[in-house]
């Protein structure tokens, strides 16, 4: 029996007791087993409606933690590789964020908006300080909401998402602090954490100029974790689900250049044989790539003893407050 036969057999035996979720950046080897594929927002929205006893997240650890926060007490949440982390989440230490927020809030009401690419502890801090979370699909709505309900916003951890979102809302550079000056005495509208995704940092303006020269009739769409310099040169930007819809909506025969993780670009290429699709640059997420058929099978073969993804009750409650606010604001 092949690995694939074994996975399919377990899926068939467990039927509705098992639900496999996969992020768009997973490769096809994994995506074919998924009951539901989505971007971060779609995956978070899906969890509360799931009835399965076992939920397996084929994505990165913060996604599995968000699943554990939103699942009910009787459900068990797993990820095939616990070490499948995320650069952005690693660049946002909860303790430091808490210290900065406490100090910022001595004089003004500064609320945090955390990109979902953060730990459960950081999401809990957002709940505690009256803030919320966002994904790349709703960052504009969530930052607008936060600005309307505070004296200022600490947006973390992705500097590029923060700046691309600020630009969409018309926030001036003078109103933005990069946390590199006297943040406790000067009054800013937006405080931007200096995190980044090393996958999306690989996309450069030079790649865009290359395509503009070689394929002048191509449309270019990029993920907002790319730098503002790259986003400003593109025709459009958006979350992974927005990129998928953008490709679907282009007419037959069109040329599209995509600046995001390679597994998604390759899948879109296969699905849209009537369009010419090019990666802006070839770059994969090393964390997403840690999940493969072999470790998925090991997990499925030992569901009752495999280490579950757990979030302690207090963190869960506060993080739920932050996530529920996002789901409410973006209904």
Binding site for ligand SF4 (CB under 6 A): 60, 86-88, 117, 197, 199, 225, 261, 285, 287-288
Q: How far is CA 35 from CA 17, 58, 74, in A?
A: 12, 11, 20
The candidate with the shortest Cα–Cα distance to 224, out of 286, 143, 320, is 143
CB of 157 to ligand SF4, least distance (A): 10
CB of 163: closest distance to ligand 13P in angstroms?
16
Q: In what order do the strands lie in the sheet with 36-38?
A: 36-38, 18-23, 54-58, 76-78
Contact pattern from residue 207 through residue 226 relative to ligand 13P, giving x for each residue in contact according to CB under 6 A and a dash for the rest: ------------------x-
- Window of 118-126, 131-139, 173-181, 214-222 that interacts with ligand 13P by CB under 6 A: 131-139
Q: Which is nearer to ligand SF4, 52 or 77 (CB)?
A: 77
Nearer to ligand 13P, 159 or 189 (CB): 159
CB of 138 to ligand 13P, least distance (A): 9
3-state secondary structure the chain: CCHHHHHHHHHHHHHHHEEEEEECCCCHHHHCCCCEEECHHHHHHHHHHCCCCEEEEECCHHHHHHHHHHCCCCCEEECCCCCCCCHHHHCCCHHHHHHHHHHHCCCCCEEEEEECCCCHHHHHHHHHCCCEEECCCCHHHHHHHHHHCCCEEEEECEHHHHHHHHHHCCCCHHHEECCCCCCCCCCCCEEECCECCCCHHHCCHHHHHHHHHHCCCCEEEECCCCCHHHHHHCCEECCHHHHHHHHHHCCCCCEEEEECCHHHHHHHHHHCCCCEEEECCCCCCCCHHHCCHHHHHHHHHCCCCCCCCCCCHHHHHHHHHHHHHHHHHCC
Q: Which of 119, 239, 263, 315 binds ligand 13P (CB under 6 A)?
A: 239
Nearest residue to ligand 13P, using CB? 39
Residue 109 CB, nearest approach to ligand 13P (Å): 28
The 10 Å Cβ neighbour count of residue 242 is 17
Q: Does 315 bind ligand 13P (CB under 6 A)?
A: no
Task: Find which of ligand SF4, ligand 13P, none residue 40 binds, CB within 5 to 8 Å per kind.
Answer: ligand 13P
Would you say 131 or 259 has its CB closer to ligand 13P? Answer: 259
Would you say 239 or 315 has its CB closer to ligand 13P?
239
What, of ligand SF4, ligand 13P, none, does residue 287 touch, CB below 5 to 8 Å by kind? ligand SF4
CB 188 within 8 A of CB 175: yes
The span of 12-20, 133-141, 185-193, 310-318 binding ligand 13P (CB under 6 A) equals 133-141
Residue 158 is a binding residue for ligand 13P (CB under 6 A)? no
Question: Is 39 near ligand 13P (CB under 6 A)?
Answer: yes
| Binding partner selected for residue 239 from ligand SF4, ligand 13P, none, CB under the kind-specific 5 to 8 Å limit | ligand 13P
What's the min distance (Å) between Cβ of 90 and ligand SF4?
9
Q: Which of 75, 87, 105, 117 binds ligand 13P (CB under 6 A)?
A: 117
- Closest to ligand SF4 by CB, 240 vs 315, is 240
Among 26, 27, 40, 66, binds ligand 13P (CB under 6 A): 40
Q: Which is nearer to ligand 13P, 95 or 245 (CB)?
A: 245
Say if CB 143 and CB 329 are below 8 A apart: no
Residues that bind ligand 13P (CB under 6 A): 39-40, 117, 135-137, 197, 225, 239-240
């Amino acid at each position: 029996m092949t690995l694939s036969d074994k996975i399919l057999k377990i899926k068939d035996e467990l039927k509705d007791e098992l639900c496999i979720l996969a992020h768009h950046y997973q490769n096809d080897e994994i995506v074919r087993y998924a009951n539901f594929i989505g971007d971060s927002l779609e995956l978070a929205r899906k969890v509360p409606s799931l009835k399965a006893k076992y939920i397996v997240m084929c994505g990165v650890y913060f996604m599995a933690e968000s699943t554990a926060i939103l699942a009910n007490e009787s459900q068990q949440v797993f990820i095939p590789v616990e070490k499948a982390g995320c650069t952005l989440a690693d660049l946002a230490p909860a303790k430091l964020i808490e210290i900065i927020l406490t100090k910022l809030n001595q004089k003004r009401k500064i609320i945090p908006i955390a990109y979902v690419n953060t730990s459960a502890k950081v999401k809990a801090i957002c709940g505690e300080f009256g803030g919320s979370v966002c994904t790349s699909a709703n960052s504009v709505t969530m930052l607008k909401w936060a600005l309307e309900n505070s004296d200022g916003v600490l947006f973390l951890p992705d500097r590029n998402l923060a700046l691309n979102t600020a630009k969409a809302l018309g926030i001036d550079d003078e109103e933005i602090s990069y946390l590199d000056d006297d943040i406790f005495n000067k009054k800013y509208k937006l405080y931007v954490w200096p995190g980044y995704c090393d996958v999306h940092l690989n996309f450069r303006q030079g790649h865009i100029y290359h395509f503009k020269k070689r394929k002048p009739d191509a449309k270019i769409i990029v993920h907002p974790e790319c730098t503002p310099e790259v986003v400003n040169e593109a025709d459009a930007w958006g979350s992974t689900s927005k990129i998928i819809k953008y490709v679907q909506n282009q007419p037959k025969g069109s040329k599209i250049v995509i600046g995001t993780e390679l597994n998604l670009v390759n899948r879109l290429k296969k699905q849209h044989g009537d369009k010419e699709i090019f990666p802006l640059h070839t770059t994969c997420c090393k964390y997403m790539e840690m999940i493969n058929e072999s470790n998925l099978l090991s997990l499925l073969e030992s569901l009752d003893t495999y280490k579950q993804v757990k979030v302690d009750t207090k963190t869960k409650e506060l993080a739920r407050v932050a996530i529920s606010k996002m789901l409410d604001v973006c209904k």
